[in-house]
Structure 1
C-alpha cells in the first residue's frame, strides 16, 4: 500500500523499474507529481563474496522494500586532502563492495521487487581521525583539493548508479566538518545531477550535523544517521524510551518543516546488549562476548522507535543497521550481540511495522 502525501514534487525523479515487478506495479502512483511514494522499508546490506536470490528471501518475508549498499573510499588521515577509490588492482575489499558486486546485488534485489540506495562511505586509516566526522582540512587550498578528490570519488558512484539504474544515491555520510562549505557542496550536487537522474540525499549525523546542513533544499530527502542516545541506564523500558524520543523528535520535525522534504533514517539500529540505548552508535567490544545478549532491550528500542516515527506523515522510512546475508540463527556470539535484528524479537517487530 502506498503512502500518498503531498510533500512536494521532485523526490522521485525517475523510478528504476523492472516490468512486471511489484515495484513496477506502483509506478503511476509513486511518480505522480506532488506525491510521496511508498515509504522506504530498508536494511543496510553487508557486502560479501557472492549473492543469490536465496539471500533475498528473508528480506521479502520481513517486508523489506529497500537495501542500502555501502562501498568505501579510503582517506589516509582526517586532514589528508585525498580520497582513494576502492577499485582496481591491489585494492582489498569484499566483492560485494566492488562495482561488479554492487550491480549484481542490486539486480538480485530488483528481481524480488527490492530497490537499492547506493550509499558510499569514507574510511579513515588513522592519522588523527577515526570516523568521517573528523575530516577537516587545515588550509583553504587543502579544502579545495579535498573537494576535488571527493568529487572524483562520488561521481564515480553517481555514474555507476545511473548505468545500473539504481534507485537512489546518498552523496555523503557523516562528513560533519565539511557541510559548512555549502557552496562547494551545491556545486558538487549540480555535477552529480548531470551524471545521475535519480533521487539524492545526504546522511547527516544525529549529534547536530543534520541541523547544520544548509543544502537540504538541493536534495530530494533529508537523511539522518539516527543513533540518538535515549537512556543513561541499562535495560530501559519502552515507556522510558518513548519519553526519551520526544526531544529528538522535536528537533527532527523542526528541520523537516523548514525544508518541506521527507525525512529518512539512512541508518538506525541497536545492539543486542543491555546498554543498547546508552550509546547506540558504539560497536560491541571484544569483552562484550562475555556478556549474555539482551534481546528484550533491543526489541524495546525497536518498538519505541517505530511507534514514535512510523505514524508521522513526513517520515520517509528507514534503513536498519545492519543485515548479514545467509546469517544463521546459531551464528557467532559477536554477530548475536551486534546490531543485526536477524533471528531475534527485533526482527519480528521490524517486519510487523514494515508490513503495515
Structure 2
C-alpha cells in the first residue's frame, strides 16, 4: 500500500458542482500546492432523520455519477490515487454517528434490516463505479458509530462490496472508536477520523497502535484536520468552535500531528479534511476560520511533509 498523502475533495457536494471548470482547476491546485498523491471523493447519500430507513443518492443533493466519473478520470490524469467514500448524512442536520434503531424489531417502527438493505444498495452503487474506473480504494462509509455494533450486518456488507470491487476496502470509524470495531478483520485497511487535540497525539497513536497490532492491517487517517479558529486545535473535532481566526494555531496543530505521525511506521498516511471545489482568493482564504488550508500557513506544513514522503 502506497503511503497516502491526500485530501477529501468537495465532500457531499450537490449535483452540478463538479461539472464546473473550477472543480478540475481546484483539484490540480490541490496536487501542485500540497504535493498530494491521493484524493478521496465522498458522494453524499441523504436520509431524512437519524431513524429513517431510506437513503437517497439520486437527488440534486448528490453529485451525479457522470460528474464523479469525470473527476475520477481527471484525478488519474493528474497521477493521483483515488478512493470513493460514499457517506450518509441526515437531512435534518443530525450527525450520522447517531443513526440507530431498536436492536429488536418492533411492528410499525423503523428497523435495522431495512436500513442496511438501503445502505447496501447505496454502497454497492459506488463500489461498482470504483471497480469500473480503477479506484485504488473503497471506503464503506464514515463515522457510523451507532451502527458499528451490528457486526454481522457490517460483515455481510463488506463481503458484498468485495464481490463487486476488487481493490482495497476500508471503513472510516470516528475518533476514539478504533478499539470498538470488532470486524476489522473483514477490511483490508483500517481507517479513522484523526481529530485529536494538539497535545494528545502520542497518547492516541499509542492506543491505535494496539489495534493495528491486533488485526495486522494497514492503517491511515481517512480524515483529519483543524480549523483556523482560536482554540480549535484543542478540540479539532468540534466544528462549532467560534472565535478569532487563528492561522498559526491551525499550523501548530498540523505540525504536531505530522511530527507524531512520522514516528509511526505502521501509519500509512492521511487524507486531510478538506479541499473545496472552488477556491477563494488567498486573501479571502486567510480570513476564513474553517478546516480549509488553502493559502494558509498550514498548507506549507503539509507540503513539506507530503513532498518528503
Q: With the length of structure 2 as denominator, give the TM-score of the two structures.
A: 0.89
1:289-329 CA distances to partner (integer Å, 9 max, x unpaired)?
xx542111101000000000123111110011111134121
Gaps of 5+ in 2: 106-110
> Residue 284 of structure 1: CA displacement?
4.9
> Are the aligned partners of 1:271 and 1:284 in contact in 2 as well (CA < 8 Å)?
no
- The reply to whether residue 268 of structure 1 matches residue 224 of structure 2 is yes
> Are the aligned partners of 1:310 and 1:317 in contact in 2 as well (CA < 8 Å)?
no
> For residue 66 of structure 1, what is the aligned residue in structure 2?
38
1:136-157 CA distances to partner (integer Å, 9 max, x unpaired)?
1125341111111111111111
- The reply to whether residue 194 of structure 1 matches residue 163 of structure 2 is yes
2:146 alignment partner, SS class:
coil
Alpha carbons of structure 1 residues 270 and 200: separation in structure 2 relative to 1, 3 Å: same
Q: CA–CA distance in 2 between the matches of 1:221 and 1:281?
A: 22
Match of 2:214 among 244, 254, 258: 258
> For residue 212 of structure 1, what is the aligned residue in structure 2?
180
> For residue 233 of structure 2, what is the aligned residue in structure 1?
277
1:330 alignment partner, SS class:
helix
- The reply to whether residue 131 of structure 1 matches residue 103 of structure 2 is no
Moved segments of 4+, more than 3 Å: 51-54
> For residue 283 of structure 2, what is the aligned residue in structure 1?
330
> Residue 225 of structure 1: CA displacement?
0.7
> For residue 55 of structure 2, what is the aligned residue in structure 1?
83
> Are the aligned partners of 2:30 and 2:275 in contact in 1 as well (CA < 8 Å)?
no
> Are the aligned partners of 2:230 and 2:249 in contact in 1 as well (CA < 8 Å)?
yes
> Are the aligned partners of 1:200 and 1:219 in contact in 2 as well (CA < 8 Å)?
yes
Match of 1:55 among 26, 31, 46: 26
2:158 alignment partner, SS class:
helix
Gaps of 5+ in 1: 1-36, 231-240
Kindly tell me the number of residue pairs found equivalent between the two proteins. Answer: 294
> Residue 354 of structure 1: CA displacement?
0.2
- The reply to whether residue 229 of structure 1 matches residue 197 of structure 2 is yes
Alpha carbons of structure 1 residues 161 and 140: separation in structure 2 relative to 1, 3 Å: farther
> Residue 283 of structure 1: CA displacement?
2.2
RMSD: 1.8
Alpha carbons of structure 1 residues 205 and 352: separation in structure 2 relative to 1, 3 Å: same
Q: With the length of structure 1 as denominator, give the TM-score of the two structures.
A: 0.78
> Residue 266 of structure 1: CA displacement?
0.5
> Are the aligned partners of 2:97 and 2:144 in contact in 1 as well (CA < 8 Å)?
yes
Q: CA–CA distance in 2 between the matches of 1:53 and 1:248?
A: 36
- The reply to whether residue 102 of structure 1 matches residue 68 of structure 2 is yes
